[in-house]
Amino acid sequence: MPKSKICIRKMCFSVETVKRLSLYLRDLRKLAKKKIELISSNKITQLLNISPAQFRKDLSYFGEFGKRGVGYEVKKLIKKLEEILGINKEWRIAVVGVGRLGSALLRFEGFSKFNIKIKTAFDISKKKVGKVINGIKIEDVRNLERVIKKEKIKLSLICTPPQVAQDITNRLVRAGIRGILNFAPVALKAPNNVFISNVDMACELERLIFLLNNER
């Protein structure tokens, strides 16, 4: 499988670049909080374990944001990154599966920083349907297609058991979803124009165990 590449402005870069942009943005926000106005590529990458050249090259795909001999204006760069990432406008998302993880996510306040608003949630259990968590009403999963279409939601989190995740994916795609963040431990299939990203605790833990187990 070829690594996915992204091409805009006649240049191509990898998804890794995009992930790093998020990291930069997070650190820049911290700096802004500390009232730091100017930062060099050297300083900002010291904390992140990324090389300064990488930082500069990542940004270079999108334009010139620094001033030679000076560095980068923190506030300005934050604005630019928010623009590049697309989080300068609100994104409404759905959560499918209101188990322990799903309900933790419904209550998670951190999303608003990225202009993400959980608009609706779905579950199959009679007990949960109709309940309201953190202002979000839990809908019957049978109405998934209808609600997603009506609300024109384009992004969804999947927090269901792995056995039903693929079925949910198919239904989400049919309903017009274009991006899925999958927490279920299963590799999902979807058309090429639907982006899937996996949060996989198992893999990460196993990686750590492998490393501890294979030292020296």
Partner DNA sequence: TACACTTTGTGAAAATAGGAACAAATGCCA
Partner DNA sequence: TGGCATTTGTTCCTATTTTCACAAAGTGTA
What's the closest the beta carbon of residue 120 comes to its own copies, in angstroms?
Answer: 16
Residue of 2, 110, 135, 191 interacting with DNA (CB under 7 A): 2
Site string for DNA, 129-168 (x = CB under 7 A): ----------------------------------------
Closest by Cα among 203, 216, 124, 209 to 168: 124
State the burial class of residue 90 (Cβ atoms within 10 Å of its Cβ: 0-12, 13-18, 19+). exposed
- How many residues comprise the chain? 216
Q: Which contiguous run of DSSP H or E holds residue 5?
A: strand 5-8
Site string for DNA, 71-110 (x = CB under 7 A): xx--------------------------------------
* 5 binds its own copies, rule: CB under 8 A: no
Residue 116: phi, psi to the nearest 5? -110, 130
* 70 binds its own copies, rule: CB under 8 A: no
Amino acid at 51: S
What's the closest the beta carbon of residue 86 comes to DNA, in angstroms?
Answer: 20
Site string for its own copies, 96-135 (x = CB under 8 A): ----xx-xx--xx-xx-xx-x-------------------
Looking up tokens 């204006």, which residue turns up? 73
Rounded distance, CA 132 to CA 120, Å?
Answer: 10
Classify each residue of 37-68 as buried b or exposed e, where b means 16 or more C-beta atoms within 10 Å of its C-beta. Answer: eebbbeebbeeeebeeeebbebbebbeebbee
* 49 binds its own copies, rule: CB under 8 A: yes
Tell me whether residue 69 or residue 110 sits nearer to its own copies (CB atom). Answer: 110
* 198 binds DNA, rule: CB under 7 A: no
How does DSSP assign 70-81, residue by residue?
A: TBEEHHHHHHHH
Q: Which residues are near its own copies by CB under 8 A?
A: 1, 6, 8, 15, 18-19, 21-23, 25-27, 47-51, 54, 84-87, 91, 100-101, 103-104, 107-108, 110-111, 113-114, 116, 154-155, 178-181, 185-187, 189, 193, 195, 197-215
